[in-house]
């Protein structure tokens, strides 16, 4: 498995709000045996949006990941077993209560400050809590995190002792992506919709897929709490309005019935769907990724993935996905990297492939050692280098 396969998902005509384009993804049949719901975190840190705050994750000995984390996702695969009394057949969204009869007294849930032990953690029963997008970002931040593996004379003592610690990357909340909140609030959710592809100025910003339409309906608005890259923020802020989808049916004199008109309209929708797959989604689906298995969940597997970090190739995405035993995507969430982030990934890969020897890495890049040193400093990795006289 090295590509994303959106088998079973079909696109519906795009909905446009200014520079934001939402392309609904619809399943004819939900993925059996898997449900996802939200685990909300409240009551700590600065509050840039509903149910939000900063949180700390322990990712290893003396290592911590600090970020804005509005909510986690809980994957429940208990329904994959053919037992009617399993919890997955009756799983409910956060905040729902069951009662035999009569009125249910209101219940207030207060969640304490969260200090997560890891990005993905098994919960009682067939459940796994994971932190959406942060799981993928951890994979990017950990890219060659150990730093130089050979003590070449060019590297500083700090680089050899601590590697790339600390690593930091900037991202924008969905609230600050111009037009996204209005688009999500105004546009309809299609019957059977299990996902959406979000574009800013017709550049793919994110893909979001869930296994069941009920899951998507509950998590549709959570897209404004997700993280988006610098490029997405700039495209939404400075890009102009994008053209809307419009079906234009020419009257050739043969459309004499409603059935004929309906068939012509469906043909237009199908042609737009094919054009979308060929022009818009190619950068996501035609890319070979490096997949890292995070957790097995019965017949399902949670992965995170990294792009090849090839320069001058268009948009490149990191993300996480849950697939079944056939490789079908049940869950997907992606983050578009900026050009600078792609360059940093490419540079780290080149250095690691050259065993961190500057002369060999410079030769692989077709440049000089001095130019490579300049690139390393420009990428924000100056602390890796030994100070020059």
Residues 32-70 have pLDDT tens digits of 999 998 877 654 333 444 444 455 666 666 666 666 676
Pick the more confident residue, 318 or 70: 318
Listed range (109-123, 177-191, 279-293) with the worst mean pLDDT: 109-123
- Per the prediction, the chain carries an average pLDDT of 81
CA-closest candidate to residue 216, choices 35, 363, 78? 35
pLDDT higher than threshold 60 for residue 85: no
- Please, which pLDDT band fits residue 90 given cuts at 50, 70 and 90? very low
The pLDDT of 85-104, averaged and rounded, is 45
pLDDT at 363 > cutoff 70: yes
| pLDDT of 93 higher than 50 | no
- Mean predicted confidence (pLDDT) in 73-91: 60
Rounded average pLDDT over 69-88: 65
More confident residue, 307 or 271: 307
Region 69-90: mean pLDDT is: 63
372-375 long-range contacts, Cβ below 8 Å, gap at least 24?
373/154, 375/347
Using a cut of 0.85, tell me whether the model's pTM lies above it.
no
Buried b (16+ CB within 10 A) or exposed e, 272-287: beeebeeebbebbeeb
Tell me: pLDDT of 132 over 60.
yes
Structure confidence at residue 252 (pLDDT): 66
Structure tokens belonging to residue 183? 């688009």
Token pair 């280098």: residue = 385
246: pLDDT strictly greater than 80? no
pLDDT at residue 125 is higher than 90: no
Asked if 306 and 289 count as a contact pair (C-beta separation under 8 A), the reply is yes
Percentage helix, strand, coil, to 5, in the chain?
Answer: 30, 25, 45
pLDDT of residue 91: 43
The mean pLDDT value for 129-142 works out to: 88
The whole-number pLDDT of residue 263 equals: 82
Lowest mean pLDDT among 196-210, 226-240, 254-268: 254-268
pLDDT over 90, % of the chain: 42
Lowest mean pLDDT among 73-87, 179-193, 217-231: 73-87
When pLDDT is averaged across residues 2-8 and rounded to a whole number, the result is 87
Task: Identify the weakest region by mean pLDDT among 59-73, 256-270, 323-337.
Answer: 59-73
Q: What is the DSSP letter of 265?
A: H
pLDDT of residue 270: 76
**pLDDT surpasses 70 at 12:** yes
Integer Cα distance of 356 and 350 in angstroms: 8
């Amino acid at each position: 498995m090295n590509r994303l396969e959106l088998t079973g998902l079909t696109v519906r005509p795009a909905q446009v709000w200014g520079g934001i384009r939402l392309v609904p993804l619809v399943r004819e049949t939900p993925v059996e045996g898997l449900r996802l719901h939200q685990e909300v975190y409240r009551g700590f840190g600065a509050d840039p949006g509903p149910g939000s705050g900063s949180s700390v994750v322990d990712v290893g000995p003396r290592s911590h990941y600090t970020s804005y984390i509005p909510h986690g996702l809980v994957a429940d695969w208990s329904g994959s077993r053919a037992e009617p009394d399993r919890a997955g057949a009756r799983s409910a969204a956060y905040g729902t209560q069951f009662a035999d009869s009569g009125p249910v007294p209101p219940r207030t849930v207060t969640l304490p400050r969260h200090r997560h032990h890891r990005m993905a953690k098994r919960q009682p029963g067939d459940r796994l809590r994971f932190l959406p997008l942060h799981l993928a970002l951890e994979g990017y931040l950990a890219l060659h995190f150990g730093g130089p593996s050979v003590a070449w004379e060019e590297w500083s003592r700090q680089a050899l002792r601590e590697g790339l610690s600390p690593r930091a990357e900037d991202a924008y909340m969905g609230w600050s992506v111009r037009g996204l909140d209005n688009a999500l609030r105004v546009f309809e959710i299609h019957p059977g919709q299990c996902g959406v592809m979000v574009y800013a100025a017709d550049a793919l910003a994110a893909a979001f897929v869930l296994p069941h339409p009920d899951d998507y309906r509950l998590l549709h608005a959570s897209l404004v709490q997700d993280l988006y890259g610098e490029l997405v923020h700039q495209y939404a802020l400075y890009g102009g309005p994008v053209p809307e989808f419009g079906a234009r049916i020419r009257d050739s004199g043969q459309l004499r019935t409603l059935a004929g008109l309906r068939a012509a309209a469906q043909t237009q929708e199908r042609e737009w769907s094919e054009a979308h797959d060929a022009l818009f989604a190619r950068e996501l689906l035609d890319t070979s990724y490096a997949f890292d298995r995070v957790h097995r969940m019965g017949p399902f597997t949670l992965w995170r993935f990294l792009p090849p970090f090839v320069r001058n190739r268009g948009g490149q995405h990191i993300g996480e996905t849950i697939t079944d035993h056939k490789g079908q995507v049940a869950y997907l969430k992606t983050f578009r990297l900026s050009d600078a982030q792609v360059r940093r990934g490419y540079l780290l890969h080149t250095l690691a492939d050259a065993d961190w020897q500057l002369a060999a890495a410079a030769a692989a890049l077709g440049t000089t050692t001095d130019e490579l040193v300049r690139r390393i400093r420009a990428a924000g990795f100056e602390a890796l280098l030994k100070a020059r006289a």
